[in-house]
Amino acid sequence: MSTAVDVVAMGAATMGLVAPPISRKPARKSSCSSASPGRVAAVATLELNTPGYWHDLHSSVHIMIQGNPMLTQDELGLLSKFGLKYTTTPTSVREHLDDQTTIITYKDLDKAWNRSPRSRRAMPNLPQVRRQSARMLPMFISGLYSPPIPLGALSACSTRARKGRELLDAMQRSALDIANGLFENEKIKIHLVKLITENIQMPDELGTGLGMYLMPGIHPHLRRLAARWRQRKLTESLVRCIEH
């Protein structure tokens, strides 16, 4: 029996597990290998302490994947055939600060804004940020799941419309620069800038400014965040898809 394969995926994290079923569509043979036991990698849920109590080792929410055609069009059948289900909560981010105060990002930002005078005082520019995010979001999402176009062509296309110019401006600035220009409350700045650091980027890096609009704005639009029965379910559904 031949063991030759056309595609080898190194590492059985989610991206490694996505590669074999996609590469098999053109009738290629594929294989996935990992040094991690039990196909867990970073998207893992284990009983670390007390039996019956499950902990996510690293990944705890699935945000950007929600706009991927793999889920929006269920290209691999993960939702319809292989048991993947998502749930949502009214809040998406909670920040607990050293002085015992808590900052919460709600999915329904309009509802939270209207209910809280303190939020309106701390974030008077929030409606402006939301409107700008709404203009940028479709361009940003569409660019995530298609091959990138050359930077020159992107600049030429973007400068023709207001939302394109806003996108280019944010792409050339740092998140900290934009946060300082929009908000005075230091705690709010920390809350928003922390979302940038989740991408393993420094907030004063040029080019991170786009995230200052998109990270807060994307939560109300991509509502299915947490996999039901913990994060390992995404991995398990991918494994079932490969075995099928």
Confidence of residue 37 (pLDDT cuts 50, 70, 90): low
Q: Is the pLDDT of residue 118 over 80?
A: no
Burial class (CB in 10 A: 0-12, 13-18, 19+), 62: buried
**What is the structure's pLDDT at 117?**
63
Q: How many helices (H) and strands (E) does the chain have?
A: 11, 8
Rounded Cα distance between 18 and 95, Å, is 32
Cβ(231)–Cβ(60) below 8 Å: yes
pLDDT in tens, 40-77: 556 777 777 888 887 777 777 777 777 788 888 898 89
Per-residue confidence band for 9, with pLDDT thresholds at 50, 70 and 90: confident
According to DSSP, residue 124 is labeled T
At 1 the pLDDT is 43
Mean pLDDT of 205-224: 73
DSSP 8-state secondary structure symbol assigned to residue 148: P
Residue 96 reports pLDDT greater than 60: yes
Residue 177: per-residue pLDDT: 92
Q: Are 45 and 54 in contact (CB under 8 A)?
A: yes
Q: 95 or 178, which is more confident?
A: 178
The rounded mean pLDDT for the chain is: 77
Q: Domain spans of the chain?
A: 7-87+226-243, 91-218
The pLDDT of residue 70 is 85
| CB neighbour list of residue 59: distance below 8 Å, 6 or more residues apart | 14, 42, 43, 44, 231
Instruction: Say whether 75 sits in a helix, a strand or coil.
Output: coil
**What H or E segment, with its residue span, contains residue 166?**
helix 162-171
How do beta strands 30-33 and 7-10 pair?
parallel
Residue 38: the pLDDT is: 54
For position 170, what pLDDT does the model report? 84
* Gap between the Cα atoms of 217 and 202, Å rounded: 20
For the chain, percent of residues with pLDDT exceeding 70: 80
Q: Where are the beta strands (DSSP E) in 101-232?
A: 102-106, 226-227
pTM: 0.69
CA-to-CA dists, residue 85 to 1, 67, 88, 216, 232, angstroms: 37, 15, 10, 24, 11
Q: What percent of the chain has pLDDT over 90?
A: 4
Residue 80 banded pLDDT, cuts 50, 70, 90: very high
